[in-house]
Structure 1
Amino acid sequence: TVTRYSEGIVGMSTAEISITGEPISEATCRFTVDRPVYPDRSFAFLNKAQAQGSPLAERIFAIDGISRVIVAHNQVTVNKTVAEQWPQIGRLVGAAIREHVASGDIAVSDEAWEGMPSTDEIRESVQRVLDAEINPSVAEHGGVIRLIDVQENRVFIQMGGGCQGCGQANVTLKFGIENVIRASVPEVAEILDVTDHAAGRNPYHTPSKK
């Protein structure tokens, strides 16, 4: 069960910054800010050392137990390794985001991009993961995942067959596809589903309750 929580944070003089935290798992929480943090771009910080020179990630990695930070437009996705629950550690993350937005600092430095694989390299790596790991699994249920496009470190996929229109498609994306791709291609910051699920074989089918 996903529990959302929100907090109003006052910063930038009298402006209120609204942040909503959505725990995706015990280890991962996505924070949505009411304004762009890194407009129309995304970046995955894999460790504290990589965050050097990027003020937002530096602030979040200063919190004990943070292992990964993904910044994407108005969302910040954070992984933790500590046992503290998200409502507690989330307040610290929210304060770090507030401090960053109020400062006017850049979210991601140009230097952070220097070690990024090329778009073609990311495309080839993601396609290998789809072919070797993901599609053999979803094929057992009559599904297929297609790689549609890669823009910088953003991956666009399309679900077909039994996956298109499935009521569990979002769960499959968040807990299956994203985890498998990022395990092999950690530089990927966003994985976006561009499927027209309403046109699927079983549009938004929900298994009957017994």
Structure 2
Amino acid sequence: MFIQTEPTPNPNTLKFLPGRALAEDGAHDFASIEEAQASPLAEALFQVEGVERVYFGPDFVSVSKTDGGLSWSQMKAPILAAVMDHFTSGQPLFRDGAAGVSHAADAYEGEAAQIVAEIKDLLDTRIRPAVAQDGGDILFDRYEPDTGVVYLRMRGACSGCPSSSATLRAGVENTLRHYVPEVTRVEQTL
């Protein structure tokens, strides 16, 4: 098995491409060892010294390390070993019943519902594919019709990335404001 690695704009996150589908039902973000217990692979990755966060994309794993901790040259081999061991073992990506993704029901009506639909469509078709290339994801959190502010959540390599605020302002906000004039500003939620 050959696993490619790619740098991301976040110097503390590295993208691993095992050459197979991973999270086909949607991305999964693990911010702690407790959350990682849902997945044998995520749990194994958290056992590697210095791993701070794990993110499963459709065909990649992004691993974030602690700032100022071990270097990637020290961490890369144990991470590659954990990924390879997982796939050669035949274990499932998630333990039984742990892969479910819950989505809160949208409470938007009328014009606000149409605006939210347009925002989500732009995120899915234009923005998320570009962000995924960098090992991350961007999710719609909420829209405030009175102010025109859109709140988004960054995950994977984008979470904690030094350039994420620039990405939100220069890329995401400009794109949303261009196609959806009702949008006045984009903010990041944690």
Match of 1:43 among 28, 35, 45: 28
Identity of aligned residues (%): 25
1:34 counterpart = 2:19: yes
Contact between 2:32 and 2:52, CA under 8 Å: does it hold in 1? Answer: yes
Change over 3 Å in CA distance of 1:113–1:56 after alignment to 2: same
In 2: Cα distance, 1:89 partner to 1:180 partner: 32
* Structure 2 residues not aligned, in runs of 5+: 142-150, 159-190
TM-score (norm 1): 0.51
1:185 counterpart = 2:170: no
Tell me how large the CA RMSD over aligned residues is.
Answer: 4.3
In 2: Cα distance, 1:110 partner to 1:44 partner: 17
- Per-residue deviation at 1:112? 3.1
Change over 3 Å in CA distance of 1:30–1:45 after alignment to 2: same
Match of 1:98 among 48, 66, 84: 84
1:78 is aligned to: 63
TM-score (norm 2): 0.56
In 2: Cα distance, 1:176 partner to 1:94 partner: 19
1:118 counterpart = 2:103: yes
Change over 3 Å in CA distance of 1:190–1:27 after alignment to 2: closer
- Per-residue deviation at 1:66? 1.2
**Greater share of residues in strand:** 1
Contact between 1:146 and 1:158, CA under 8 Å: does it hold in 2? Answer: no
1:69 counterpart = 2:37: no
Contact between 2:120 and 2:140, CA under 8 Å: does it hold in 1? Answer: no
